[in-house]
Structure 1
Amino acid sequence: MSDIELMDLFPQFASVTPESAPRRDAVAAARQDRGRLREIAALRLTEPDVGRTLEDICREASKSLGLPMSFVSIVLDEAQHFAAQHGVGGWLGEAGGTPVEWSFCQYSVAAKQGFVVEDAARHMLVQDSPLVTQDGVRCYAGMPLVTTRGFAVGTLCVAGPDTHVFTESDLQTLRRYAGEAVRRIETRRVEITP
């Protein structure tokens, strides 16, 4: 995908400069939005059983996009929780999440739009994240999980250890899987509503 096509898809992030980068306070405000956090709590998205309903989506997204890792990341105010994951090893897989400051997903949640990083070592928003500097994440694409109530509760994302060019077809596929994840999450709302 060319830089011009990428800028058309994700103008707020595709060619980020210091002047155009989202303000940290705006991203933090989106993470800390009380309505969004209440939505996460109402759906009980940090409970262990959520993963069972979403793991196959992670597996299929990873396989379809040819990348080793996929997550359903629930972005909280201070951490990101991996509600489901595929291909994640080591400490990251065991921990089941990271501090939110390390998160790529927070940008997708804040904008309620996809966030694509083809070379994390050169992307100003994430290049200093320990996920890049210590764990070797080099590419990422995430689509927000926006509920019918309008809250971005997290993302469905894929990542890998090498730079990667994401095609429009890749992004459409990821959007489709994100839509399925939201459908399952919304079904869960029906199941847990008293």
Structure 2
Amino acid sequence: MNHYSGGRLLLTPVDRDGLVRAERLRALGLGERADTSFESFDAFADKVAEVTATPFSMVNFIDENRQFFAGLHTPAGNRRGTDLGAAAAGSGRSARYMARDHGYCPHVLVRRKALVLDDVCDYPRFAGNPVVDEIGIRSYLGAPLIDRTGIALGTVCAVDTVPRPWGRAGLATIKSLAQEIVVQIDRRGAPPR
């Protein structure tokens, strides 16, 4: 899809799996915040931030309309997402929601591959994204969360406000972290024994 924002053309990938993903997220009880059931995702986002030494990290589930940060680490540590500025659409709950055309996670989701952007401004396709101006994001490291059914449910990502040379080590790290959190997600959907 093409969206216009602030006079700039933004390219958000077409997501053909949105409806199937949304059904799977609902079946797993993910995608909507229940105040206590997402503490493990917040703890995991803290771990991602620590391992990558970044100010922001997320465990992000994406339905057909928006992104939901089930796990969130921000510099202020308030977990409400208010540090995400105008890019997050709180809709009266919290600012853990963001439009699908903001950020880079929708690209990771559709590609089903990790994405490494040392400096988002080096890539015209990504430099015009609203998170650059609204939050000050300059680098991104993200990997898809593909569950045992083969559905890409969302992403795990680390972002920074300065360019970062992630390299192969960064790519290997985010892939490993994605595999680790997918194990937790798969446990949620496992049939009782």
The reply to whether TM is greater than 0.5 is yes
User: Which structure is higher in helix share?
Assistant: 1
Q: Tell me by how many angstroms 1:172 deviates.
A: 1.3
Displacement of 1:57 in angstroms is 1.8
Q: Number of matched residues?
A: 168
Q: Distance in 2 between matches of 1:55 and 1:91?
A: 15
Q: What whole-Å deviation, never above 9, does each CA across 1:134-169 have from its counterpart, x for those lacking one?
A: 210000110000011111110000001000111212
**Aligned sequence identity (%):** 22
Q: Say which SS state the counterpart of residue 141 (structure 2) adopts.
A: strand
Residue 146 of structure 1 aligns with which residue? 146
2:45 to 36, 54, 58: 58
Displaced runs of 4 or more, over 4 A: none
Q: Distance in 2 between matches of 1:156 and 1:42?
A: 20
SS at match of 2:127: coil
Unaligned runs of 5+ in 2: 1-10, 77-81, 89-93
Are 2:62 and 2:68, in contact at CA under 8 Å, matched by a contact in 1? yes
What one-letter code is carried by the residue in structure 2 that aligns with 1:154?
Answer: G
Spell out the pairing of 1:169-184 with structure 2 (5 A cutoff): 169-184=169-184
Shift of 1:103: 2.6
Which one-letter code corresponds to 1:28 in the other structure? V
Q: Secondary structure at the match of 2:15?
A: helix
CA RMSD of the aligned region, Å?
A: 2.2
Matched AA of 1:103? G
Equivalent residues of 1:108, 1:115 under 8 A apart: yes
Q: Distance in 2 between matches of 1:165 and 1:110?
A: 24
CA distance in 2, matches of 1:30, 1:119: 28
Unaligned runs of 5+ in 1: 1-22
List per-residue Cα deviations over 1:71-120 (Å, max 9, x = no partner).
00111111111011112553528410211111310011001100111112
Return the alpha-carbon distance in structure 2 between the equivalents of residues 166 and 30 of structure 1.
30
Higher strand share: 2
